[in-house]
Amino acid sequence: MTLRRLPSLLAASLALGALVFVALPIQSQEAPSEPSEPLPERGVVIEIDSPERSLYKIAVPNLRGANTALGASGAEVLRNDLTLVSLFQVLDARSFLANLEQEGLNITPGPWSAVGAQGVIKGEIRGSGGSLEVEMRLYELARGTTATLTRTYRGGQGELRGFMHQFANEVLRQLTGTAGAFDSRIAFARRAGPGRKDVYIADWDGHDVGRVSDGNGVNMLPSFGPGGIWYSKLTETGMFITHSNAGGRRIIDGDGLNMGPTVCNGRVYFTSTRDGNSEIYSASTSGGDVRRITRHPAIDVSPACGPGGNIAFVSTRHGSPQIFTMSGDGSGVRRVTFRGEHNQTPSWCQRGDQNLLAFTGRSGGMDVFTVNVATGQYTRLTQGQGSNKDPAFSPDCRMVAFASSRGGIFVSNPEGANQNQVIRGAAETLRWR
């Protein structure tokens, strides 16, 4: 990486008759040789080491206001959002040259461009306690000193994080044309002790982790749907499906296991062994009108709703467990993974234009992959970083979360870069909405 600079460095020093300073007391008085020889054109430079080159450089100073700690925590939410989404380089506040006191909510472009900023986010918190007014502004230096995005939020102190996420969504809409999804949440299951599992929900950035299930028995395989978080609960005779607002009622029950709900097309898709073999069924959201979707002597499990109401699922009908897709009525079954011996836990990017499906690939350890169901192209997100499984796309598909043996839920971009831990502690079977 430094080698590519060598020719231009040499050329510059020779052609200009440069004085070369070393940290040694060298006595030398070189007269400029070759006067005014034009600097040679740069050769072809192949950038192999700058994935950060296209990152948008943005400065997010602490929000103004009487409560400086609150202003700092608000800005930190924004900085974290913008860093984790892998589209921004959030500039270090220690480099800032601007006089923030004098500038207020406005900007003077000079000192910001001197630190490399392409955008600046300014904000101010007025009022206190339960009645805050938070004014946020985005400046794009290339477009002058008028804010290109201004939003004012009103609410209690507890809503500040939410305001910051909402503004970050708007910043992405302003800069990319597609809003962010920073006000989203991740649902997951966690082993709570011997023979016990619980379903949890948290802000995607790890804040506000809360238990959804009642804390008894084994609760697993969560998913978002009408009524809140749908999940499966183990009983002595089998497993039933319920959701967070059902008050413990069995929404979908039957012989054997009934598990892994996913809701789309106005129906709940789930795995059941009621007919003796593991098959995929659908039911109304009140639990009635159960229809069998798959009919195959092999194992069919793990339905996942995707764009257009298409269902991804895992089947062993071709031998080893692989990911298949089908329409909501069970027609058009198509195999989409052709690599590895064992692929499981499919999860869609919900943006229909992307055709992306994330899954866990097993070969010795477990790693996270995506496949483009239209082109068949695979992307490997993790490798040699412990065991990584159960991925879920963010609602805007700009990030992928997965459970890692490194100690919790990690978030990366869809290429696996910029991996950061967002939630500590064991986790499995993620869903993100």
Partner 1 sequence: MGMSSGGGGNGRAPLGEINVTPLVDVMLVLLIIFMVAAPMMSTGVEVDLPQTRAPRMEMDEEKLILSIDAQQRVFLGEEEVPADRLEEALLNNARLQADDEIYVRADQTVPYGFVLRVFATVRQAGIEKLGLVTDPAGGAADVPPSGSE
Binding site for partner 1 (CB under 8 A): 2-3, 5-6, 9-10, 12-13, 16-23, 32, 35-36, 39, 53, 57, 89, 91-92, 94-99, 110-111, 113-117
Min dist CB 3 to partner 1, Å, is 7
Q: Residue 188 is which amino acid?
A: F
Pairing between strand 56-59 and 119-128?
A: parallel
Min dist CB 2 to partner 1, Å, is 6
* Distance from C-alpha of 103 to C-alpha of 120, rounded to nearest angstrom: 12
Min dist CB 111 to partner 1, Å, is 5
* Distance from C-alpha of 264 to C-alpha of 260, rounded to nearest angstrom: 13
Nearer to partner 1, 93 or 246 (CB): 93
Nearer to partner 1, 47 or 353 (CB): 47
Min dist CB 72 to partner 1, Å, is 17
Nearer to partner 1, 21 or 44 (CB): 21
The candidate with the shortest Cα–Cα distance to 136, out of 117, 151, 114, 155, is 151
- Geometric angle at alpha carbon 307, from 344 and 357, rounded to 5°: 30
Query: For residue 327, how many other CB atoms are within 10 A of its CB?
Result: 15
Q: What is the DSSP string of 47-105?
A: --S-TTTTPEEEE-PPPBSS-HHHHHHHHHHHHHHHHHTTSEEEPPGGG--S-HHHHTT
Residue pair 293/330 in contact (Cβ under 8 Å)? The answer is: yes
Dihedral sign (CA 275, 277, 281, 286): positive
Min dist CB 122 to partner 1, Å, is 17
Nearer to partner 1, 115 or 333 (CB): 115
Residue pair 248/214 in contact (Cβ under 8 Å)? The answer is: yes
Nearer to partner 1, 116 or 266 (CB): 116
Nearer to partner 1, 10 or 72 (CB): 10
The candidate with the shortest Cα–Cα distance to 390, out of 314, 334, 294, 299, is 314
Min dist CB 28 to partner 1, Å, is 13
Min dist CB 123 to partner 1, Å, is 21
Facing residues of 126 across strands?
A: 133
Nearer to partner 1, 95 or 131 (CB): 95
